[in-house]
Structure 1
Amino acid sequence: MSALSGPMLKLGGFLLAHASWIIDDLGPADNYVPQALCLKEGELELNSFEADTQEEAVARGKAFMEVKAAEYDACAFARDGLLRHDGRAIDALIIDLADETGAHVLTMIQPYRRDEQMHLLGDEVFLFPPDRAKDEDGSASLRPLVRAGAQDHSGARETWNRLDGSRQPAPDLF
């Protein structure tokens, strides 16, 4: 599997739909538990990283990716985060993708807003390491594979279709 392969991008989309489905159902005081979804020989393995604090949970997930991602064909690590824009915080799902070597090859960011339910803000943004540069032309070509992966999640498909079909404008964050 090469860097940014179709299966890797679809894995990221599957996890994006899964995490969105969970966040959409969370209560106002609840937090999304960071998760890694890994692919090995066609089989998916989901790992959740619960901890006393979000910071500790994210650190556990990142440590898993650093140590274990190379054992799989591809891994995606999702966490809930905040982006700062014009002095205010914007919620975002942040998903790192790693290839079969364990190398971090892409970060996907999906800004969202949550009131009684979740609302996606704009399209996914893709940042490429090591300098985490945004490439809008490249991003447009990746979205169909990510969204196809989201459609592969039968349990989350109804929620994903509602969220994807009602995207709201996003501030220019990058």
Structure 2
Amino acid sequence: MPALPTAALQLAGFLMAHAFWTASDLPPGGHYQPQSLCMRADGNRVLNSFDGTNPKEQDEAARAFVTGGAAQWPDCAIARQVKVGTPTGDVDALVIDVVQYGGSVMTVVQAFRPADKGFRLLGDELMLGDNGPLPPLPAAQAAAAMREGALDHPGMDGKWNQWETERDPVSPLVER
């Protein structure tokens, strides 16, 4: 397996922190509006939101960007909120697609409990490549790079460290 791109993963971690900061402040029934964070060749970053009349249209616009508009950027991360069905019920999750020049590098899925139920990260991120879950070592390296990027987000005021400390040990998205 080729080495995962650290810069793209750190960018995705920065967006992950931003998205969870937004999600942690949403009112009951609120939904995170999908966003992309893309880095130019000169290192400057551009944050965009995906519009639509409802969350489904916003999600469709974000997914279309993954396979279309992201191709113009060296590194790009696209975050969107989804519901994942589990045997015990639906779980909210943030999905982050990590893309380099339009080629998918990986998809990250992080389950969470919404703000109106006491915001909390639920287990570790699931790291998915083209052929399913990444092997343990590359997954751990990707998670470390993303968490490093999350810590670079200004204005988090210790929120990320608190979320890490209070993180549930096991994701509801994995079979036990």
TM-score normalised by the chain length of structure 1: 0.90
Match of 1:154 in 2: 154
CA shift, 1:4, in A, is 2.5
Q: Which amino acid aligns with 2:147?
A: R
1:123 aligns with 2:158: no
CA 1:35–1:3 in 2, change beyond 3 Å: closer, same or farther?
A: farther
CA shift, 1:172, in A, is 4.9
Once residues 64 and 140 of structure 1 are traced to their aligned partners in structure 2, the CA distance between those partners, rounded to angstroms, is: 27
Match of 1:33 in 2: 33
1:81 aligns with 2:100: no
Q: Decide whether the 8 Å contact of 2:66 with 2:97 is kept in 1.
A: no
Q: 3-state DSSP class of the match of 2:95?
A: strand
Q: Decide whether the 8 Å contact of 1:151 with 1:157 is kept in 2.
A: no
Match of 2:99 in 1: 98
1:45 aligns with 2:39: no
Identity %: 36
CA shift, 1:142, in A, is 1.5
Tell me the alpha carbon deviations over residues 6-48 of structure 1, each in whole angstroms, 9 at most, x when there is no partner: 1000001001100000000110121100001100120110110
Q: Which amino acid aligns with 2:23?
A: I
Q: CA RMSD in A?
A: 1.7
Q: Decide whether the 8 Å contact of 1:78 with 1:94 is kept in 2.
A: yes
Q: Which amino acid aligns with 2:151?
A: Q
Q: Decide whether the 8 Å contact of 2:96 with 2:108 is kept in 1.
A: yes
1:110 aligns with 2:110: yes
TM-score normalised by the chain length of structure 2: 0.89
Q: Decide whether the 8 Å contact of 1:80 with 1:93 is kept in 2.
A: yes
Q: Decide whether the 8 Å contact of 1:85 with 1:173 is kept in 2.
A: no
Match of 2:60 in 1: 59
Task: After the TM superposition, list the runs of 4 or more consecutive aligned residues in structure 1 that deviate by more than 3 angstroms.
Answer: none
Once residues 139 and 150 of structure 2 are traced to their aligned partners in structure 1, the CA distance between those partners, rounded to angstroms, is: 16
Q: Which amino acid aligns with 1:57?
A: Q
Greater mean deviation of Cα atoms: 83-92 or 145-154: 83-92
Match of 1:19 in 2: 19
Match of 2:135 in 1: 135
Q: Decide whether the 8 Å contact of 1:150 with 1:157 is kept in 2.
A: no
1:167 aligns with 2:167: yes
Q: Decide whether the 8 Å contact of 1:3 with 1:105 is kept in 2.
A: no
Q: 3-state DSSP class of the match of 2:145?
A: helix
How many residues are aligned here?
A: 171
